Amino acid sequence: MTAPKKPAASARDTPRFGAKIRSLRRCAGLSQAELAQRLEVSPSYLNLLEHDKRALPAPLLIKLARVLEVDLASFAGEDDARLVHDLLEVFADPLFEEAPLTNTEVREVASASPAAARAVLQLYRAYRGAQVATDALSSRLEAGDDAGGASRSSLPSEEVSDLLQQHMNYFPALEERAEQLRREAGLGELDRFGALVRHLARACDVRVEIARSGQPGAALRRFDPRSRVLWLSELLPTRSRLFQLAAQVALIAHADVLDGLGRDPLLTSPESRALARVALANYFAGAVWMPYMEFLRAAEELRYDIDVLGRRFGVGFEQTCHRLTTLRRPTQEGVPFHMVRIDVAGNISKRFSASGIRFARYAGVCPRWNIFSAFQTPGMIRVQVSRMPEGASFFCIARTIQKDSGGYHAQQPVQAIGLGCAVEHAPRLVYADGVDLHNPGLVTPVGVTCRLCERTACEQRALPSLKVPLRVDPNYRGLSLYAPAPE
């Protein structure tokens, strides 16, 4: 009996690099003939490659990356997948209700002309920014306030998030400078605060003072460049004082690295660049107190137990989670995590994804995520096996956090941190012990937003799905208002 023939790989299974080659060639200012000459292939063959009529051989891929002076990682498809996801979310807006586009059409637009797709995203962000500014202006005029200046069309926080995602939240130059600081300042286990204070005085001519609460102009951290005095609030716990000290070192002594990263084209305004400096200085502080290799080894040894890691390195829950997302050094990587910080109203204030999961940028967040149930049990880890509509599964944990600076009358907002990875990495985490990862009964169906999710039977659906035609039967009421009546 002969074995059945193995089916040939379909065109869908074959990586399609045509649009990427065409885009990179145009960015380099080369014609097809010029690039073909450098690659030592015929122009007709290159034309076939650019239109996905021929598969791209590995040796030619390597040569192409060398000729165009790009990293091979640029062909990996992560940027393309993120671009498609963002476009899908844009076209889920009710603005396009009368001209619905299929997922295939959106993917073809992103593949054929990524530059045009990014232009559409830019236009939509400008539209959303103008819409928000108009609403704010209207509210202020109704209240009798001075309208002030016009708002920008792109939020600085969104641009900084894009910068972190573009770099996969890993910045080698900052890691190197953090290691340098540890050596120069002699930052050991004991008296870390004193060692860094002495280093600031010696290397940066900066004096550190503790500010009493209630003083005029009090802040958690304030640096006066003229007097060279750094004020830290007495309300800051020890670990936060250490963190703020290290962040200030980055701002003073490593401004060249921060400025270089801040010149990224993704940052389009002074506000974006200033916010990026803060984010990168905080990254540096995390790298100082949680050295890359030492922290990675501890994470693997402790199976990513966040509380134990935090105690070992003297940092908080959020700082530990954030550092876990930065372990992306090639050949020395940790678990590829995603992380999100959210408030009880569903506003995302921090996000990053190395796991492949996508977060909403322009619409409401899926309420089925365990990060929302974390608010019901403050301080307790919530575990969830999540499955997206396209079938990808993730193992997620969530816990609330609350800033511990402030006195008796200080009302600190409660937020929640969500951390997760693809389900195949879950056995490396202590939180997966005792969890049957392959039990369908334990899987929670989740989505990005209601508009992009095709699960019409969801009882928490707030909006109709863009992927399913809306059919309303007044004589039928399903789990949600938008659940279609059976045909």
Inform me whether the pLDDT recorded for 312 exceeds 90.
yes
pLDDT surpassing 60 at residue 57 = yes
Q: Is residue 119's pLDDT more than 50? A: yes
Q: What is the pLDDT of residue 104?
A: 75
| Confidence tier at 396 by pLDDT (50, 70, 90) | very high
pLDDT band at 137 (very low <50, low <70, confident <90, very high): low
Quick one: pLDDT band at residue 405, thresholds 50, 70, 90?
low
Looking at the predicted structure, is the pLDDT value of residue 407 above 80? no
pLDDT at position 5: 42
Terminal alpha carbon distance of the chain: 46
Rounded to 10°, the helix 18-27/58-68 angle is 20
In this predicted structure, the answer to whether residue 148 has a pLDDT above a threshold of 50 is no
pLDDT score of 146 more than 50? no
Least confident residue range of 72-76, 284-288, 424-428: 72-76
Instruction: For residue 208, list its beta bridge partners.
Output: 230
Give the torsion through C-alpha atoms of 183, 188, 194, 195, to 10 deg.
-10
Residue 173 CB coordination number (10 Å): 15
Query: 345 versus 151: which is more confidently predicted?
Result: 345
The domain defined by 154-289 carries CATH number 3.40.50.300:
no
User: pLDDT band at 150, cuts 50/70/90?
Assistant: very low
In angstroms, the Cα distances linking 402 to 86, 241, 290, 322 are 31, 17, 21, 16
pLDDT: is 482 or 66 the higher one? 66
Dist CA 325 CA 354 (whole Å): 7
Q: Is the pLDDT of residue 102 over 50?
A: yes
Global pTM reads 0.74
Q: Could you give the percent of the chain with pLDDT greater than 90? A: 47
User: What pLDDT band is residue 193 in, cutting at 50, 70 and 90?
Assistant: very high
Long-range contacts of 218-227 (CB under 8 A, 24+ apart): 220/244, 220/405, 221/247, 221/248, 223/248, 223/251, 223/252
CA distances from 186 to 195, 283, 293, 309 (A): 7, 20, 17, 22
Q: What is the mean pLDDT of the chain?
A: 84
Mean pLDDT of all residues in 261-277: 93
Per-residue model confidence (pLDDT) at position 133: 61
- The single-letter code of the amino acid at 358 is R
- 1: pLDDT strictly greater than 80: no
**CB count, 10 Å around CB of 234?**
13
> Which backbone phi and psi does 461 adopt, to 5 degrees?
-65, 130
Per-residue model confidence (pLDDT) at position 379: 92
Q: Please tell me the predicted confidence (pLDDT) of residue 409.
A: 63
pLDDT in tens, 11-30: 444 456 777 788 778 777 88
Report whether pLDDT(216) > 70: no
- Model confidence at 383, pLDDT cuts 50, 70, 90, reads very high
User: Which amino acid is residue 238, in one-letter code?
Assistant: T
Q: Which pLDDT belongs to residue 363? A: 67
Residue 441 has pLDDT above 60, yes or no: yes
Degrees to nearest 5, angle at CA 105 with 102 and 107: 110
Q: pLDDT band for position 311 (50/70/90)?
A: very high
Domain 18-76 falls in which CATH fold? 434 Repressor (Amino-terminal Domain) (1.10.260)
Residue 113: is its pLDDT beyond 60? yes
pLDDT above 90 (res 224):
yes
Report pLDDT for 474.
Answer: 79
| Domain ranges (residues) in the chain | 18-76, 154-289, 339-446, 454-487
Three-state SS across the chain? CCCCCCCCCCCCCCCCCHHHHHHHHHHCCCCHHHHHHHHCCCHHHHHHHHCCCCCCCHHHHHHHHHHHCCCHHHHCCHHHHHHHHHHHHHHCCHHHCCCCCCHHHHHHHHHHCHHHHHHHHHHHHHHHHHHHHHHHHHHHHHCCCCCCCCCCCCCHHHHHHHHHHHCCCCCHHHHHHHHHHHHHHCCCCCCHHHHHHHHHHHHHCCEEEEECCCCCCCCCEEEECCCCEEEEECCCCHHHHHHHHHHHHHHHHCHHHHHHHHCCCCCCCHHHHHHHHHHHHHHHHHHHHCCHHHHHHHHHHCCCCHHHHHHHHCCCHHHHHHHHHCCEECCEECCCCEEEEEECCCCEEEEEECCCCCCCCCCCCCCCCHHHHHHHCCCCCEEEEEECCCCCEEEEEEEEEECCCCCCCCCCCEEEEEEEEEHHHHHHCHHHCCCCCCCHHHEEECCCCHHHCCCCCCCCCCCCCCCCCCCCCCCCCCCCCCCCCCC
Taking only the tens place, the pLDDT of each residue in 26-53 is 777 888 999 999 999 998 999 888 887 8
**Lowest mean pLDDT across 110-114, 151-155, 183-187, 359-363:** 151-155
Q: State how far the Cα of 383 lies from the Cα of 374, in Å rounded to an integer.
A: 9
pLDDT tens per residue, range 272-297: 999 999 999 999 999 999 999 999 99
